[in-house]
Amino acid sequence: MIDISLAADIGTIVVAVVNIILIGIIYIEFRDSRMPNIRTEIRSPKGSSKRKVGVLETDTLYLISTNRSKNVAKRIHIELIFKFNDIEYKVRNNVHSHLNGGESFKILVCLGEIKKIS
């Protein structure tokens, strides 16, 4: 027969391991819920501000990044890389310190100048 104190020790160890696993799951869920939701779009300044660009035009375009959540995004790193005829052109290496919830910023992208360079 199993000693009662040994069974109690095994039960305590099992409960402790299960608690540690549950705390880990809760921590991961909490961390994911605190992550910002950032949407990035390319828009044209012509016409309506709601107009999205499906094809990159040789025109002045804006890259708009919006934080759609209530959480703060810290240290946003943006790289714009365009490829024209197997030539890769890096436009900008931008770092923003933070973006509060509901805020957005825009970056001017002069695609005509990029095509002249490449």
Give the per-residue pLDDT at 56: 63
Do 24 and 76 belong to one domain? no
Residue pair 90/79 in contact (Cβ under 8 Å)? The answer is yes
Do 7 and 63 belong to one domain? no
Give the pLDDT means over successive 10-residue stretches in the chain (118 positions): 84 96 91 80 68 62 84 83 77 75 82 63
Do 57 and 88 belong to one domain? yes
The number of folded domains in the chain is 2
Cβ neighbour number for residue 95 with a 10 Å cutoff: 8
Average pLDDT, the chain: 79
Do 54 and 21 belong to one domain? no
Do 26 and 58 belong to one domain? no
CA distances from 96 to 71, 106, 108, 115 (A): 15, 11, 15, 26
Cβ neighbour number for residue 106 with a 10 Å cutoff: 15
Task: With 0.85 as the threshold, say if the pTM is over it.
Answer: no
Domain that holds residue 22: 1-33
